[in-house]
Amino acid sequence: MDIELVAALRDNVRRVLNDQCASPKLHRFIEDEAERYDAALWRTAAELGWLALPLAEEHGGLGAGIVELAALQEELGCRTAPVPFLSSVLVAGALQVWPHGAVRAHWLDKLASGDAIGAVGPLATAESGLAASQQNDLYRISGECVPVLDADIASLLLLPLQTEAGPGLALIDASTALDVQPLPVADRTRSVCTVQCHDLELPAQQLITGSEAASLCDRLAGQAQILLAADSVGGAQATLEMTIEYMKTRVQFGKPIGTFQALKHRCADHKLAIETSRRILQRAALEYASGGDRAWPHMAKFAACDCYTAMAADGIQLHGGIGFTAEHNAHLFLKRSMLNQYLFGDSAQQLDLAGRKLMSGEHGA
Amino acid sequence: MSTVDRTILDSVNEPQRFRALVRDWIERTVPHGWREQQAAASEEEQFAFQCWWFGELSKIGMATAHWPRDWGGEALKVESQVIFYEELARAGAPSNSMFVSTLYQLPATLYAAGTAEQRARYIDGAKAGDLWCQGFSEPGAGSDLASLRTSAVRDGDAYIVNGQKVWTSYGQFAKHCLLLARTGPLQPKHKGISMFVLDMDSPGIELRPIRQITGQAEFNEMFLTDVRIPVENLIGEENAGWGIAQSTLSAERGLIIFEQSERLRHFLAELLESQPARDSWLGDDESRRTFIRVYTDAAALTLMIREMLEQNEAHGEMAAQQLPVYIKLHYAVLLQKLGGLLVRVNGLNGQLMHPDIATSGVPGGNWMFDYLASWNWTIAGGSNEIMRNIIAERILGLPR
């Protein structure tokens, strides 16, 4: 990892988002129910190469790792940017190691150019209601999978399922006979859907099973947890900065409310939580990249998500009445923080997974 | 000074050999059953034991090896310190808990504001085991330290000091004291304070021990009546003591937690492996989840301390400004959380005071004692609330 490269990437992303994801624009997007993601910002992201970032150089990418992706996601989190980056990155990650070359070749360039959006289901096969049965070179898939991130805007879906050979992971073309229903989640900056299929036929090379599927699932879940932690650290930091600015200028009882110790101390605790969860996140990304300690993504996820939900909730309270209005950004952070907390396993689940890995010695030295 | 056996110090560039030599030295040096002996010992015997341990560390150059070369230390690299502390923790070796002022506050103060003569006068003594204590707090000046009232009035070549100090740790054993006293009674309160070296055998000093909630009597009240301090014992300029105290206090806030955090890391890892814990409370979802939170907090503590030490290594001692504040508050909160958890999950045993188990600074079987001792970290050296004020005002920029 090149520290200067990561800093330059951050700067670049921040500058673009300052311009293209500023509050008025974001609020116009939120209010327009027909808009499922910010297509203009997505195009910019593709043009600037953000979507090709994780891909190997042979696919026109930069071969960037989790550290760079987390930095980018953190900046997206600062702005609650409504783009399907997380799901697309995870699908690209699966494709890069997909054992069938034809599938890889067909999709990777489209993902890198932003022409295809990826959708991703829960990365735990036990949580999928989809089942596949094999008939010669085809699988037949039936059932329902919830939640699937960005299914309504995606061209390619990565879904976990059960097969006769144990856990499975399928890549499904969105143009096939899928029934996709977006759900009315409070966080409008992300799309969450149910996906149903009835006897859907899938070529065998689009499905992997057994330990191959289980280990890819686990690997991608770790990536998802780290990226959500990054999004949360960014969101928490942005909420704190917004709140501090307000507390410096809002005058009550003849002085800025930022002078009141009862409020100051809450901000200090949020600041400390952000500082500690950011460091856990950074370490988790390094451990993930080097294939080290496997408890870290879970530790990063619960630390950052708990920090974000607490900060975002208090962010509304510290803004008082104005924080309760739809035109303010405070609720965007809260809603995104709550969805981050839920996606890919909430804090209780992360604590249990971390505990299991630490106690089974999977945490390395 | 006796000559130092540099065998261990000279091996630091070979980490495995360094670790093996340290382990071997601990094996040969730490007496078996020291905890049991110390638990039953009087305070004088405990002090004698601490001095003996300090002396043993000095013989191999390790008592002050972490000091920068400027301070007369070895500028031991962070990785080597980690190895040393890991081995101490693994062996359950004693810690230098009485020497905090000697090892951290004294050199930080002298190298921030002391003269060359003062450094020469005191540093060698400190390296040889002279115990230092701190005379900052007063009955009416705790968190609001700048309102202290102990007065120092210039009289020829000396200052005459009158007043009362409190929470003077190990004052009964100390040779010197870093003392804050008011020299400018007409100045604004922050601008009328000076820092002195007070020799603890000066006439006019009376100490009264204070018994704590743990049962120990580490602290003292110190009464000062017409105590003479020679002018050459003034550190820095007259009336500049507040700034000196602030910078030295904030610098050592993070440093003194380094060894603690390494021992804590070791303790938590052992607890996770402990079969009795796994067979009981680690099987309970709520307790285990609380534990994993503390474990993660401890990991963050380690990362922050390493980062602070790296900043200091790269940009000079005390370069890190914000991290020591985070580290102090984070450690205090985490220690209390852990202490409360361990008392609870140990049932009735958690409620018992075990005078037969001496503590080495991190939890270890004397659950209630360790829990009670955690308030030392949440109150002393700047309470949690003062740390929150500093974060809110100096770091976040909220108005006063």
pLDDT given for residue A365 in this prediction: 38
Tens-digit pLDDT profile for chain A (365 aa)? 578 889 999 999 999 999 999 999 999 999 998 899 999 999 999 999 999 988 877 777 777 899 999 999 999 999 999 999 999 999 999 999 999 999 998 999 999 899 999 999 999 877 889 999 998 889 999 999 999 999 999 999 999 999 998 999 999 999 998 999 999 999 999 999 999 999 999 999 999 999 999 999 999 999 999 999 999 999 999 999 999 999 999 999 999 999 999 999 999 999 999 999 999 999 999 999 999 889 999 999 999 999 999 999 999 999 999 999 999 999 999 999 999 999 999 999 999 999 999 998 765 43
d(CA B387, nearest CA chain A) in Å: 9
Q: Does A259 sit within 8 Å of B400, measured CB to CB?
A: yes
- Closest residue of B to A269, CA-based? B388
d(CA B270, nearest CA chain A) in Å: 11
Residue identified by tokens 């959500």 is A228
Contact list, B287 vs chain A (CB under 8 Å): none
d(CA B393, nearest CA chain A) in Å: 8
pLDDT above 90 for B232: yes
ipTM (interface predicted TM): 0.95
pLDDT given for residue A134 in this prediction: 92
Contact list, B385 vs chain A (CB under 8 Å): 265
* Interface residue of A264, A270, A307 to substitute, partner B, most B CBs within 10 Å: A264
Rounded Cα gap, residues A14 and B237, in angstroms: 47
Q: Does A359 sit within 8 Å of B293, measured CB to CB?
A: no
Tokens standing for A100? Answer: 């069938």
Residues 272-331 of chain B whose Cβ lies under 8 A from any Cβ of chain A: 272, 278, 282, 285, 288-289, 291-293, 295-297, 299-300, 303-304, 307, 326, 329-330
Looking at the DSSP bridge assignments, the partners of residue B12 are none
Q: Does B330 sit within 8 Å of A359, measured CB to CB?
A: no
pLDDT tens-digit series, residues B143-188: 999 999 999 999 999 999 999 999 998 999 999 999 999 999 999 9
- Closest residue of A to B268, CA-based? A358
For A345, which DSSP code? S
**For the residues B301-319, what does the mean pLDDT come to?**
85
Residue identified by tokens 């900052």 is B136
For A320, which DSSP code? G
DSSP string, A146-211: EEEETGGG-SEEEEEEEETTEEEEEEEETTSS-EEEE---S-TTS-EEEEEEEEEEEEGGGEEEHH
d(CA A12, nearest CA chain B) in Å: 25
Which residues contact residue A298 at a Cβ distance below 8 angstroms, ignoring those fewer than 6 apart?
A225, A345, A350, A351, A353, A354, A357
Beta strands at B176-182 and B132-135: parallel, antiparallel or unpaired: parallel
Any idea of the CA torsion for A126, A127, A129, A134, to the nearest 10 degrees?
A: -40
Which residues contact residue B234 at a Cβ distance below 8 angstroms, ignoring those fewer than 6 apart?
B159, B194, B195, B196
Contact list, B281 vs chain A (CB under 8 Å): none
- Burial class (CB within 10 angstroms; exposed 0-12, middle 13-18, buried 19+) of B155: exposed
Task: Measure the CA angle with vertex B216, ends B140 and B375; round to 5°.
Answer: 60
Choose the closest CB to A299 out of B299, B304, B391.
Answer: B299
Choose the closest CB to B392 out of A265, A348, A354.
Answer: A265
d(CA A268, nearest CA chain B) in Å: 5
Residues 221-240 of chain A whose Cβ lies under 8 A from any Cβ of chain B: 240
pLDDT tens-digit series, residues B108-133: 898 889 999 999 899 989 988 999 99
Tokens standing for A176? Answer: 């096939």
Q: Which candidate in B56, B74, B252, B317 is catalytic?
A: B252
Q: Does A247 sit within 8 Å of B297, measured CB to CB?
A: no
pLDDT above 70 for B49: yes
Chain B touched by A276 (CB under 8 Å): yes
Q: Does B393 sit within 8 Å of A244, measured CB to CB?
A: no
